[in-house]
A and B are shown apart, each in its own frame.
Chain A
């Protein structure tokens, strides 16, 4: 039996941290242990009591001007210190690009395992964590468990729900941690043109693939999106091969889970499908009746997006008015 106890949650993305607290609460209850949160940053102390309202039993507050921006070695040293002193049994870390690198380095420093990008989490009879993750390019779900302690998993945004905040009792501990110097220097940061959260949080997404002949033809999607109050996305070839856009929807890009995903002129290669798998309803519009996207669609239309999209926009306009 290992001496590690408790669940520790961390993400540099505040919303994602709240979502993980929701899930962490459930796991802590099952294991009859406590849920702690690492609140790391500069000038963040005012958020500590809010984290308790969202479900934390304990907040480890590490507030230091050096932690204003995420820098791998600085954050790593904080989390490593916490893991050594507090000895959590389970660490839930937000699966952002920085969070994943952090989790991987922390797991290595602690000589333990890490299960990345878990979309489901449960506890087995022995009290071990079981994580489910998409693998083989979206062709399979792997169930993975631990043979080492602590158990570190990373969790993508929008997988779990945050709890309703309510008044609870909790303990806030302010910690002074020795912070390592960073080995890389931030030369420049600038915000993305479109925040990725826009498309990842959208309730409806209209998306196109190689069937789109010209960049400007995206207006056809935008017109439909306007009626549906939707976000517009695209596949990777339009971003990478044609360089029309800088972002895309798919396993290697934005993973979306809208209530409605309208896929226009995209064939539905497995990596794209893996990024839209959790959509509630998928509509496929493609001129090739053999396109694999129809296999994963709820509604399919065989036709040219240049004909169907304007007609659909018009039909919705009529039926919604």
Chain B
């Protein structure tokens, strides 16, 4: 039953995509029937309009790819960070939070894969010491089917080891999956380790910093830019891939999608639900200080009567710095 429902959804989506074609053809021929037969969709009383059914077309890939898991971090919105004017300390605790940008790209990529292939479930997984539900609602509005949140006080100040460990245990409890997508790094801590740590814990092939992903016959292929080369890697699924921000432009959910999201499920677990021993998530590293970066810049504004004068003064100043060789 569940499958029939899903198929109907896929078909309706496909018909919507083709509706212009259909309308143009049938504008004067109402009523008409739509018949789905094996690998074709027939439209019209004489079956005079046919195109391949998305169900048949993607049957193989559907079988290959059922579940995509996207790891989402609730990160400090670094663009809204404020500094305490008296102490000079960064006010991270009170700063607004959002889905880490890179993870949003990972979610968008999962949705695009789903749109290409037809039937896949997208689950998001988040590890947090606070109630990240409002942020996860956004992920559901964007297009995730279900969100898993591990919310536990003991997860305060966790390091990349513990984050990856809890993610791994969560994913094991969720069960089967075909693809895990993560952002290559996070907006706030910018470590870029969790994806690779998670792959190691789950013993998965991994490709990091992908800027293009394609899926075919149970394999995933990803393009990445290294320091001095482009590289295309291919792996069997299940696999873990981390994505860059170039990979796509995440969509902004419509009001309709936001409303629909309120009916989707957010599963909340604690570390106890996951049978995680306290000592397993002990910190391996500890942050001892967070300092405001020292920038001792001269901040000299160069002004003048006209462009030539300004340019002349600037050129002179740069030459006097001794950087530009005559």
Q: Do A and B belong to a common assembly? A: yes
Which residues of A are in contact with B by a Cβ distance under 8 Å? 13, 72, 96-98, 100-101, 103-105, 107-109, 111-117, 130, 133-148, 157, 183-192, 195-197, 203-204, 228-229, 236, 239-241, 246-247, 251-252, 259-260, 269-270, 277, 280-283, 294-303, 307-308, 311-312, 314-316, 318-320
Residues of chain A within 8 A of B303, CB atoms compared: 302
Write the chain A residue with the least CB distance to B301.
A300
A308-B318 contact given A97-B224, A270-B79, CB 8 Å threshold: no
Q: Is B256 an interface residue (CB 8 A)?
A: no
**Stretch of B3-11, B123-131, B304-312 with 4 or more beta carbons under 8 angstroms from chain A:** B304-312
Distance of A95 from chain B, by nearest CB (Å):
9
Q: Chain B at the A interface: mostly helix, strand, loop or mixed?
A: mixed
Distance of A100 from chain B, by nearest CB (Å):
6
Write the chain A residue with the least CB distance to B283.
A147
Write the chain A residue with the least CB distance to B161.
A113
Q: Is B291 an interface residue (CB 8 A)?
A: yes
Contact with A along B270-308 (1 / 0, CB 8 A): 000000000000111111111111010111111100011
Beta-carbon contact of A144 and B235 below 8 Å: no
Residues of chain A within 8 A of B310, CB atoms compared: 301, 303, 308, 311
Please name the 10 residue pairs, one residue from A and one from B, whose CB atoms are nearest each other, closest first.
Answer: A113-B284, A137-B78, A183-B205, A311-B311, A104-B196, A113-B285, A315-B315, A108-B200, A104-B193, A148-B284
Partner of B300, one of A103, A111, A135, A298: A298
Q: Chain A at the B interface: mostly helix, strand, loop or mixed?
A: mixed
A187-B221 contact given A147-B283, A240-B245, A299-B302, CB 8 Å threshold: yes
Beta-carbon contact of A136 and B160 below 8 Å: no
In Å, the complex CA distance between A104 and B208 comes to: 11
Which residues of B are in contact with A by a Cβ distance under 8 Å? 76, 78-79, 81, 83, 90, 92, 159-161, 164, 185, 187-197, 199-201, 204-209, 221, 224-236, 239, 244-246, 249, 282-293, 295, 297-303, 307-308, 310-312, 314-319, 321, 323-326
Partner of B228, one of A195, A269, A307: A195
CB<8 Å pairs between A and B, sample of 14: A108-B197, A116-B193, A135-B290, A136-B78, A142-B287, A186-B233, A187-B234, A189-B229, A260-B318, A269-B79, A300-B299, A301-B301, A308-B311, A315-B314
